[in-house]
C-alpha cells in the first residue's frame, strides 16, 4: 500500500469521463499498457462525497452513478487530501 497526495479532479463539468481518467493518470496509471482496479484506490469519505455531488450537480443522477461505478472507493480513515493505493490497483498487461 502507498499513500500519496490527492490530485484535483479537473473539468468535471465539461467532460466527466475524461476528468476521471485524467485523475487516475495523474496517480501514475498508463491506460495504454495497464488495467485499473478503481476499488483499490481510496480517498477520504469527505472528498468522495464532495466529488460525487459535483458529478451529480453537473450531470444529474447519471453523473453521480458514473462516479460511484468508476470512481475511487472511500474510507473514513483516509485523511483529506490523500489517496491510498492498495496493492494491485494497476495491473501491467502484455498484449
Quickly list DSSP for 34-58.
Answer: EEE-GGGEEEEHHHHHHHHHHHHHH
Would 94 be classed as within a structural domain? no
The grid coordinates of residue 3 equal 499513500
Q: What is the pLDDT of residue 84?
A: 98
pTM more than 0.75: yes
Q: What is the pLDDT of residue 93?
A: 72
DSSP letter for 79, please. P
Would 95 be classed as within a structural domain? no
The strand ranges marked E within 37-77 are: 41-44, 73-75
Would 74 be classed as within a structural domain? yes
| Domain encompassing residue 85 | 2-89
Would 42 be classed as within a structural domain? yes
Would 50 be classed as within a structural domain? yes
pLDDT tens for the 95 residues of the chain, in order? 999 999 998 889 899 999 999 999 999 999 999 999 999 999 999 999 999 999 999 999 999 999 999 999 999 999 999 999 999 999 877 65
> In the chain, how many domains are there?
1
CB count within 10 Å of CB 67 equals 23
Amino acid at each position: 500500500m502507498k499513500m500519496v497526495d490527492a490530485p484535483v479532479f479537473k473539468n468535471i463539468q465539461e467532460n466527466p469521463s475524461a476528468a476521471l481518467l485524467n485523475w487516475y493518470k495523474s496517480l501514475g496509471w498508463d491506460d495504454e499498457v495497464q488495467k485499473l482496479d478503481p476499488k483499490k484506490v481510496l480517498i477520504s469519505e469527505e472528498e468522495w462525497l464532495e466529488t460525487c455531488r459535483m458529478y451529480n450537480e453537473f450531470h444529474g443522477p447519471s453523473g453521480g452513478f458514473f462516479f460511484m461505478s468508476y470512481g475511487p472507493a472511500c474510507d473514513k480513515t483516509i485523511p483529506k487530501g490523500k489517496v491510498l493505493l492498495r496493492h494491485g490497483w494497476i495491473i501491467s498487461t502484455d498484449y
